[in-house]
Amino acid sequence: MRRVMLTVAYDGTAYCGWQLQPGKETIESVLNRCLFELTGETIQVIGASRTDSGVHALGNIAVFDTESSIPAEKFSYALNRRLPEDIKIRASKEVAADFHPRHCGSVKTYEYRICNAAFPIPTKRLYAHFTYVPLDVSLMSRAAAYLVGEHDFKSFCSADTQAQTTVRQVDDIRVWAEPLTDVVTAGCILQGSADREKQRVTQTGKEIVIRVTGRGFLYNMVRIMAGTLMEVGRGKLPPERVKDILAACDRQEAGPTAPACGLTLVGYEFLL
Amino acid sequence: MRRVMLTVAYDGTAYCGWQLQPGKETIESVLNRCLFELTGETIQVIGASRTDSGVHALGNIAVFDTESSIPAEKFSYALNRRLPEDIKIRASKEVAADFHPRHCGSVKTYEYRICNAAFPIPTKRLYAHFTYVPLDVSLMSRAAAYLVGEHDFKSFCSADTQAQTTVRQVDDIRVWAEPLTDVVTAGCILQGSADREKQRVTQTGKEIVIRVTGRGFLYNMVRIMAGTLMEVGRGKLPPERVKDILAACDRQEAGPTAPACGLTLVGYEFLL
């Protein structure tokens, strides 16, 4: 019997999250099914992070036990031939038989993406939350700095948590903007002008990325952080306000929970 | 009666291309239906570029005539409330009553995106063609330079064209690589090491962008250019070979037609 670890990337759009749910298609149910087809064994993977419905991943982790003769490194290729296009294995390897991805220290990295433009961009809609309200990235960065370190994040946790403690350590938060492809439209040119350059209408928009690294997160913590930083970015809250929100230990003080589609679990590291 | 121009962005994944087809959902059929719901008029939009099934757009152009009292600039907002999430209007304005988007000179800009990584990335699959074969961007750039200017692009045109001439002018081609988000996986850390940094497994991949600007394109021209540049990028063809491929005026000499999903019409400009 060997324990194999998978690095799993997926588009969460079509799934009811990671965790098994009766009668619903989840990342876990698809992995279990493909592993059964591949090995003939009834396999139940153990996931590192149970992402919510609609949340994406570039590198979630799952382990499972098998007696199959397939070399651990080959599971990635064998599974990818059976998996749907929106779930792919990026690496597979053998790990210690007693390794449990949720019973050891880990550092996770999440990205929350915001499409900040005058009009929604259809090709961005599945992986970035859209808002036409202009957001100030430098204000968001200043606010984010207050969230770094060990704090009681009760204000950034959905009420229905089962966590014993709401104290967590955030190692790093970075907020930056990436340019969106400019679009030259014909709009103004039709009015005729010698100076075409000046007449061009280009879509001036940006994609804002909030990248958070930390040792474990509370339920909806990153999405509530994103929702709060968006309130700061639009000028509704001053950056310093985040200090008071933390101190209040009250979910009502923080901003709304940002939509799932903008969230991607990008990386996972175990501290052994 | 006024003529209104729309700048249309869409995710082509779910549609059978732009052009009306009996019994099939197309971008054009959705626009006509929403305009009817909005104005009560039977409206048939005239599209500037009839993109193929699965091709995306950030800025395609459509015009239509209406007697509705809705201000031209307001059509974008009114239509976006009725349009599905994968089709959005980014601008609307009144244009000359005799303006026809296919009967006047224009400059189009297309982008072809290639996800070049060890494993497919589910969240990229709809908007970039995936290949695990490492592509050399500098070779692709050198090859692309031979395509700039006025040439007979017969070798880069699908056999079933109705074009009278296969001579076209390409104003500019640029090829560059954008980094993909690195993913920290737990892989090697489980083997234990004092030097964790060195042990990190990060996804080293890139997204290659081929940006082509020109005055009109032949059927599948950009996708055949992309397919040919990929052959150069993988070392199968030397960059100079593109000169001979052009001279041959023979579709068989060029590379394969790259898949539709990687192609996006990013901009449109009329020369009036």
Mean pLDDT estimate for chain A: 91
CB pairs A-B closer than 8 Å: 178
The percent of chain A in helix, strand and coil, each rounded to the nearest 5, is: 30, 30, 40
DSSP conformation class of B104: S
Instruction: Determine the residue of chain A that is closest to B199 in CA distance.
Output: A269
Q: Is A171 assigned a catalytic role?
A: no
Cα→Cα distances B260→B19, B112, B128, Å: 15, 9, 9
What long-range pairs does B146-152 form, CB within 8 A, spacing at least 24?
Answer: B146/B239, B146/B240, B146/B242, B146/B243, B146/B246, B147/B173, B147/B225, B147/B242, B147/B246, B148/B172, B148/B173, B151/B246, B152/B246, B152/B249
How high is the pLDDT of residue A96?
92
The rounded average pLDDT for each run of 10 residues, N- to C-terminus, in chain B (272 residues) is 95 97 96 98 96 95 96 97 96 92 90 94 96 97 98 91 87 93 52 43 80 93 98 98 97 97 92 76
Distance CA B253, CA B264 (A): 25
CB B34 within 8 A of CB B82: yes
Cβ within 8 Å of A, B 239-268? 264, 266-268
Distance CA B35, CA B31 (A): 6
Per-residue pLDDT of chain A in tens (272 residues, 90 and over written 9):
999 999 999 999 999 999 999 999 999 999 999 999 999 999 999 999 999 999 999 989 999 999 999 999 999 999 999 999 999 999 999 999 999 999 988 899 999 999 999 899 999 999 999 999 999 999 999 999 999 999 999 999 987 767 789 999 999 999 999 988 766 554 444 444 444 443 344 556 899 999 999 988 999 999 999 999 999 999 999 999 999 999 999 999 999 999 999 999 998 888 77
Instruction: Determine the residue of chain A that is closest to B55 in CA distance.
Output: A123
CB B140 within 8 A of CB B208: yes
Conformation bin of residue A167: beta by default, left when phi > 0, alpha when psi is -120 to 50: beta
> Which of B5, B109, B185 has its CB closest to that of A91?
B185
The helix (H) or strand (E) run that includes residue A140 is: helix A137-145
DSSP conformation class of A159: S
Q: Name the one residue in this structure whose structure tokens are 């790093």.
A: A172
How high is the pLDDT of residue B216?
86
Cα torsion at B143, B149, B152, B156 (round to 10°)? 40
How high is the pLDDT of residue B136?
97
How high is the pLDDT of residue A186?
47
How high is the pLDDT of residue A185?
53
B181 to chain A, closest Cα gap in Å? 8
- One-letter amino acid of B217: F
CB-based contacts of A24, cutoff 8 Å, min separation 6: A16
**pTM of the predicted structure, to 2 decimals:** 0.91
Cβ within 8 Å of B, A 24-63? 48, 56, 58-59, 61
> Chain A contact for B185, CB < 8 A?
yes
Residues of A in contact with B271 (CB under 8 A): 189
Residues of B in contact with A76 (CB under 8 A): 119
CB B113 within 8 A of CB B129: yes
The percent of chain B in helix, strand and coil, each rounded to the nearest 5, is: 30, 30, 40
How high is the pLDDT of residue B193?
43
How high is the pLDDT of residue B182?
63
How high is the pLDDT of residue B202?
55
Cα→Cα distances A19→A16, A30, A47, B213, Å: 8, 10, 8, 46
How high is the pLDDT of residue A203?
56
How high is the pLDDT of residue B25?
97
How many Cα atoms within 13 Å fall on the side-chain side of residue A99? Answer: 30
Beta-carbon separation of A120 and B88 below 8 A: yes
